[in-house]
A and B are shown apart, each in its own frame.
Chain A
Amino acid sequence: MSLLEVREASKSFGSLAAVRRVSLRVAAGELRAVIGPNGAGKTTFFNLITGALRPSAGAILFDGRDVTAVPAWRRVVLGMARTFQITEIFPELTLAENLRVAVEAAAGLRLRPWISRAAAAAVGRQVEDMLALAGLAAKAGRRVGELSHGDQRAAEIAMALALRPRLLLLDEPTAGMGEQETYDVAQLVRRLHRDRNLTIVLIEHDMRVVFHLADRIAVLDQGALIADGTPEEIAADKTVQAAYLGQVAEGGAAEAGAAEAGAA
């Protein structure tokens, strides 16, 4: 059964149709990439899935349950965690404190006016585990606002993981990263998928990352789903090539093919 099912979801802002009747099924354990030219509606689509926006029409089902009217925070409790295109963290707090909020929320402690030493120690251990997973253990005491862009992105992923999600949604996790950082994030995502069998939906511009990681790829263009298939199918898809080539022509690049075009 699908863990996530989007049924004919649409979102309009005034006369602009940002997402148009998009349907998508993501099976448990799958790693799905969502790609498309700039302005294709990918982030809006993410916002519909996670509850940051309510769809104008259509439905969102999570684990068989209709969550279309469920507020964003409760979808997190149900098992959806996400990161953002522009990193959303708690800049004035230390890395460990950032993670602590996530761990405590996931443990259902958010309304506790006190915490026992034992429970606090357990929280601390989970924080350390998550930092180790994200390769940030050495920076636990640093203020997150002072960390490098790459470390901040990794911190945000670690916070999402600390929620122990069943579905992880990553909005351009490698945006603005150098070669090494991009590779590190790709390896992290791969480990999460392979070793923990985590279901992941990923918006990504770096086509090497997408074709390296994804089980299936969905392509959005101008708010509509124009293709959905395995990486091989997508690479060979004429509609996809046309959508990307249009953008590349505008940008002045001459290279053909979805892979190179997307990476440009």
Chain B
Amino acid sequence: MRESGRTHPAVLAAIWVVLLLAPTWLGLVGGYTALGARVLVLGLAAMSLNFLLGFTGVLSFGHAAWFGLGAYGTGLTLKFLAASTPLSLLAGTLLGGALGAALGALIAHRRGIYFAMVTIAFGQVFYYIAYRWNALTGGDDGLRGFSRQPLAIGPWRIDIVANGVAFYYFVLVCFAAAVAIMALLLRSPFGHTLVAIRENERRARFLGIPVEFHIWLAFALSCVFISFAGGLYALLNNFADPNNLHYSLSGDLVIMAVLGGMRSFWGPLLGAALFVVLQDYVSSLTTNWMSFVGLLFVLVVLFFPRGLLGVLRGKSPA
């Protein structure tokens, strides 16, 4: 029996081939490797958001907060605490994940617009902290003066600092690990409860599932994943700035998820790819690139409410 929402093996294979060969083919179509890494990082962020939005049915409109906390946590660790890429990434993930879990506990019983509003508010709190706390965060100028460090695995040293292709593969490995965990979670009994909550909260409750607790867990996990993505973003740019926390980025992530298809696991990655590529190409032609993204978004919502990948899967909406 085919499981609802499971990706076809051929599609899955195609996705990984495209990602694995990206440094080869990106140059041929006028792209560059760092653009590929950016797609992976923002794609992971959008997929993390979608873990909550598409698979638990809960809309967070402030998820940039945890993304940015991951970025700042990683950057600050590299700058002040430890010159280690893995350690800084771990620290950023823990910072965003822990704060997300703590604040999530306060709002897990809120629903719909109230939940979304409170998440925006949390995001803006962290935005202004980063914006104002010049001494620690660099304020409006952003956090500078740190750099990702070479990886040391046993006797080998891998230069991910100057070698962009090596860094791309580092990001790809991180992306693959995070996405694999996410996919396994969604296929587990715990994942089944999340989809059940999305489908019908009342039925889920009367199957003996403490709905608020499961929503909180999903929120905390989503925060961990997106903080990890934020940490990778800081490593990619060797820079973190308050815009990483701003709600306009939260909105961009929601756009990516909806554009690609929030009921499909891989949809947000496609959405992120489109978004990033449009940003990169159209912004070189016009400063109004966002209006093109907006137009595309409106068209997708009007004509392909299941998102682009939802259409490719060929499953008609009910």
Contact = CB atoms under 8 A, between A and B. Distances in A.
A73 B188 contact: no
A82 B199 contact: no
A40 interface: no
A145 B207 contact: no
B184 to A, nearest CB: 6
A176 interface: no
A259 interface: no
Residue of B4, B192, B217 contacting most chain A CB atoms (<10 Å): B192
A88 B209 contact: no
A88 to B, nearest CB: 4
Contacts of A141: 1-2
Contacts of B4: 92-94, 97, 143
Contacts of A44: none
A105 B203 contact: no
- B interface, size bucket: 20 to 34
A224 interface: no
Contacts of A4: none
Contacts of B302: none
B93 interface: no
B200 interface: yes
Interface residues of A, number: 40
Interface in B170-215: 184-185, 188-190, 192-193, 195-196, 199-200, 202-211, 214
Contacts of B153: none
Contacts of A140: 1
A163 B188 contact: no
Contacts of B192: 97, 100-101, 104
B206 A82 contact: yes
A110 B1 contact: no
B190 A110 contact: yes
A90 B206 contact: no
Interface string B253-289: 0000000000000000000000000000000000000
Contacts of B184: 113-114
A163 B203 CA distance: 12
A109 B205 contact: no
A113 B207 contact: no
A52 B205 CA distance: 9
Given A100-B192, A110-B193, A112-B189, A159 B207 contact: yes
A90 B190 CA distance: 16
A113 B211 contact: no
B200 to A, nearest CB: 5
A163 B209 CA distance: 11
Contacts of B199: 89-93
Given A91-B318, A113-B190, A106 B206 contact: no
B204 A97 contact: no
B208 A76 contact: yes
A96 B1 contact: yes
B207 A109 contact: no
Contacts of A39: none
Nearest to A102: B207
Contacts of A92: 4, 199, 318
Contacts of B205: 72-73, 76
A81 B205 CA distance: 11
A163 B184 CA distance: 25
B200 A112 contact: no
Contacts of B202: 84, 88
A48 to B, nearest CB: 14
A115 B203 contact: no
A14 to B, nearest CB: 23
A71 interface: yes
Contacts of B190: 110-113
A115 B188 CA distance: 6
A20 B4 CA distance: 45
A114 B208 contact: no
A109 B193 CA distance: 10
Contacts of A159: 203, 207
B208 A106 contact: yes
A71 B196 contact: no
A174 interface: no
Interface in B113-152: none
B206 A110 contact: no
Contacts of B203: 88-90, 159
Interface in B195-239: 195-196, 199-200, 202-211, 214, 217
Contacts of B208: 73-74, 76-77, 105-106, 110, 163
Given A76-B207, A113-B184, A143-B4, 13 more contacts: A73-B208, A84-B206, A89-B203, A91-B318, A92-B318, A94-B4, A101-B195, A102-B207, A104-B192, A105-B208, A109-B189, A113-B185, A159-B207
13 contacts: A52-B206, A73-B210, A77-B208, A82-B206, A104-B192, A105-B208, A110-B189, A111-B189, A111-B190, A112-B190, A113-B184, A114-B184, A140-B1
Can you list the 9 inter-chain pairs with the closest CB atoms, starting with the nearest? A76-B208, A90-B199, A109-B189, A88-B203, A104-B189, A112-B189, A101-B196, A105-B207, A77-B208
